[in-house]
């Protein structure tokens, strides 16, 4: 725990700016991605949280979550897509449930940055299975669902 974090017997407060932002690893992301906060709750909890910022055109690789994932869009405009489904626009305040084991991706649109909070649980120590990059062709394919 850093000096800017506080703890009591019942609660941990992780202060804004107390964790170092990291670039999204190119093995898992396309484009400029910054992860500002990462928190994994102590055992026995399996939950983890990250605040992720995507510059225009940036996105995750295809991936799955063994116990699912919740995304809460906090800024900008983005897209998300489950394999075989439509590319869907997401905006601030939108809450997205990525179903367990379903291949999907998410990120900014091609012209607008996007930030979301990602919440997921780990199974056997892993919250995600990363796969191949989303090609530019797939990223821009088809109409965008906006409702």
Domains of the chain are 20-135 (2.60.120.10)
Residue from 113, 109, 75, 68 nearest 94 by CA: 75
For position 100, what pLDDT does the model report? 78
Q: Which of 39-43, 112-116, 127-131 has the lowest mean pLDDT?
A: 39-43
According to DSSP, residue 138 is labeled: H
pLDDT exceeds 60 at position 136: yes
According to DSSP, residue 9 is labeled: S
Q: Where are the alpha helices (DSSP H) in the chain?
A: 136-139
pLDDT exceeds 80 at position 9: no
Give the model confidence (pLDDT) of 112-123 as tens digits: 999 999 999 989
For position 3, what pLDDT does the model report? 46
pLDDT exceeds 50 at position 18: yes
pLDDT exceeds 50 at position 1: no
CA 93 to chain centre: 15
pTM for this prediction: 0.88
* Helix or strand holding residue 29 (H, E): strand 29-30
Average pLDDT over residues 53-59: 98
């Amino acid at each position: 725990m850093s000096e800017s974090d506080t703890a009591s017997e019942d609660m941990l407060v992780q202060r804004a700016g107390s964790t170092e932002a990291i670039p999204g690893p190119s093995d898992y992301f396309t484009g400029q991605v910054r992860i500002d906060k990462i928190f994994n709750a102590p055992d026995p909890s399996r939950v983890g949280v990250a605040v992720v910022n995507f510059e225009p055109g940036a996105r995750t690789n295809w991936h799955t979550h063994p116990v699912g994932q919740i995304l809460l869009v906090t800024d900008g405009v983005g897209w998300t897509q489950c394999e075989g489904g439509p590319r869907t626009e997401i905006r601030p305040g939108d809450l997205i449930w990525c179903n367990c084991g379903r291949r999907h991706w998410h990120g900014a649109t091609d012209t607008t940055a996007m930030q979301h909070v990602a919440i997921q649980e780990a199974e056997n120590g892993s919250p995600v299975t990363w796969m191949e990059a989303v090609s530019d062709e797939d990223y821009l394919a088809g109409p965008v669902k906006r409702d």
